[in-house]
Amino acid sequence: MKRLIAGSALALAACGMTAGTANAEPAGSSTQDTTFFRLLTTPDDDGFFITVTNPSLLRTQGLAVCQRMDNGMDGLDAVYGMMADGPYPWDTANSISSAAVVAYCPEHLQD
Protein backbone atom coordinates (compact mmCIF):
# COMPACT_ATOMS: atom_id res chain seq x y z
CA MET A 1 0.00 0.00 0.00
CA LYS A 2 2.97 2.29 0.54
CA ARG A 3 3.64 2.06 -3.17
CA LEU A 4 0.04 3.06 -3.89
CA ILE A 5 0.48 6.28 -1.94
CA ALA A 6 3.89 7.01 -3.41
CA GLY A 7 2.57 6.24 -6.89
CA SER A 8 -0.44 8.46 -6.32
CA ALA A 9 1.80 11.23 -5.08
CA LEU A 10 4.04 10.97 -8.11
CA ALA A 11 1.05 10.93 -10.44
CA LEU A 12 -0.36 13.99 -8.71
CA ALA A 13 2.99 15.72 -9.04
CA ALA A 14 3.17 14.95 -12.74
CA CYS A 15 -0.35 16.29 -13.33
CA GLY A 16 0.30 19.36 -11.23
CA MET A 17 3.44 20.35 -13.05
CA THR A 18 1.74 20.70 -16.41
CA ALA A 19 -1.68 22.16 -15.68
CA GLY A 20 -2.95 25.42 -14.24
CA THR A 21 -5.27 25.72 -11.27
CA ALA A 22 -7.81 27.95 -9.62
CA ASN A 23 -6.46 30.33 -7.01
CA ALA A 24 -7.46 28.28 -3.96
CA GLU A 25 -4.51 28.89 -1.67
CA PRO A 26 -4.73 31.33 1.25
CA ALA A 27 -3.12 34.77 1.10
CA GLY A 28 0.55 34.78 2.05
CA SER A 29 1.00 31.18 1.02
CA SER A 30 4.37 29.64 0.24
CA THR A 31 5.54 27.85 -2.87
CA GLN A 32 4.83 24.62 -1.00
CA ASP A 33 1.26 25.77 -0.37
CA THR A 34 0.83 26.67 -4.03
CA THR A 35 2.04 23.21 -5.03
CA PHE A 36 -0.27 21.55 -2.48
CA PHE A 37 -3.38 23.38 -3.67
CA ARG A 38 -2.49 22.97 -7.35
CA LEU A 39 -2.19 19.21 -6.90
CA LEU A 40 -5.59 19.07 -5.21
CA THR A 41 -7.53 21.35 -7.54
CA THR A 42 -6.16 20.15 -10.89
CA PRO A 43 -8.22 17.24 -12.26
CA ASP A 44 -6.29 13.99 -12.52
CA ASP A 45 -6.55 11.47 -15.36
CA ASP A 46 -9.90 10.26 -13.99
CA GLY A 47 -11.22 13.81 -13.67
CA PHE A 48 -10.97 13.72 -9.84
CA PHE A 49 -10.18 16.99 -8.06
CA ILE A 50 -11.08 18.71 -4.81
CA THR A 51 -13.06 21.91 -4.48
CA VAL A 52 -11.33 23.77 -1.66
CA THR A 53 -13.76 25.65 0.58
CA ASN A 54 -11.50 26.09 3.62
CA PRO A 55 -7.85 26.40 2.51
CA SER A 56 -6.49 27.00 6.01
CA LEU A 57 -8.10 23.84 7.39
CA LEU A 58 -7.00 21.77 4.42
CA ARG A 59 -3.42 23.06 4.75
CA THR A 60 -3.43 22.20 8.46
CA GLN A 61 -4.69 18.70 7.70
CA GLY A 62 -2.03 18.26 5.01
CA LEU A 63 0.70 19.30 7.43
CA ALA A 64 -0.74 16.85 9.98
CA VAL A 65 -0.13 14.03 7.48
CA CYS A 66 3.55 14.97 7.37
CA GLN A 67 3.69 15.23 11.16
CA ARG A 68 2.23 11.74 11.49
CA MET A 69 4.76 10.37 9.05
CA ASP A 70 7.58 12.24 10.81
CA ASN A 71 6.46 10.46 13.98
CA GLY A 72 6.78 7.06 12.31
CA MET A 73 3.30 6.43 10.91
CA ASP A 74 3.32 4.80 7.49
CA GLY A 75 1.58 6.36 4.51
CA LEU A 76 -1.44 4.07 4.56
CA ASP A 77 -2.17 4.79 8.21
CA ALA A 78 -1.75 8.50 7.50
CA VAL A 79 -4.49 8.20 4.86
CA TYR A 80 -6.75 6.40 7.35
CA GLY A 81 -6.05 9.20 9.83
CA MET A 82 -7.05 11.73 7.19
CA MET A 83 -10.26 9.78 6.57
CA ALA A 84 -11.08 10.06 10.27
CA ASP A 85 -10.07 13.73 10.54
CA GLY A 86 -12.20 14.90 7.62
CA PRO A 87 -14.21 12.81 7.61
CA TYR A 88 -13.24 12.10 4.02
CA PRO A 89 -13.84 9.19 1.65
CA TRP A 90 -10.79 7.19 0.56
CA ASP A 91 -10.17 9.06 -2.73
CA THR A 92 -10.24 12.47 -1.06
CA ALA A 93 -8.10 11.42 1.91
CA ASN A 94 -5.56 9.75 -0.38
CA SER A 95 -5.39 12.83 -2.62
CA ILE A 96 -4.88 15.18 0.33
CA SER A 97 -2.25 12.90 1.85
CA SER A 98 -0.42 12.41 -1.44
CA ALA A 99 -0.42 16.13 -2.24
CA ALA A 100 0.84 16.89 1.28
CA VAL A 101 3.73 14.45 0.92
CA VAL A 102 4.73 15.91 -2.45
CA ALA A 103 4.46 19.53 -1.30
CA TYR A 104 5.43 19.52 2.37
CA CYS A 105 7.44 16.38 3.13
CA PRO A 106 8.88 14.82 -0.04
CA GLU A 107 11.35 12.90 2.10
CA HIS A 108 8.42 10.53 2.78
CA LEU A 109 7.74 9.73 -0.88
CA GLN A 110 9.47 6.36 -0.44
CA ASP A 111 7.74 5.52 2.89
| Residuewise pLDDT in 10s, the chain (111 residues) | 454 554 555 444 444 433 333 444 455 568 999 999 999 999 988 889 999 999 999 999 999 999 999 999 999 999 999 999 888 999 999 999 999 999 999 999 985
What 3 state SS string does 12-71 have? HHHHHHHCCCCCCCCCCCCHHHHHHHHHHHCCCCCCCCCCCCCHHHHHHHHHHHHHHHHC
How many structural domains is the chain composed of? 1
Range of the domain at 49: 2-21+30-108
pTM for the whole structure: 0.73
pLDDT recorded at residue 5: 53
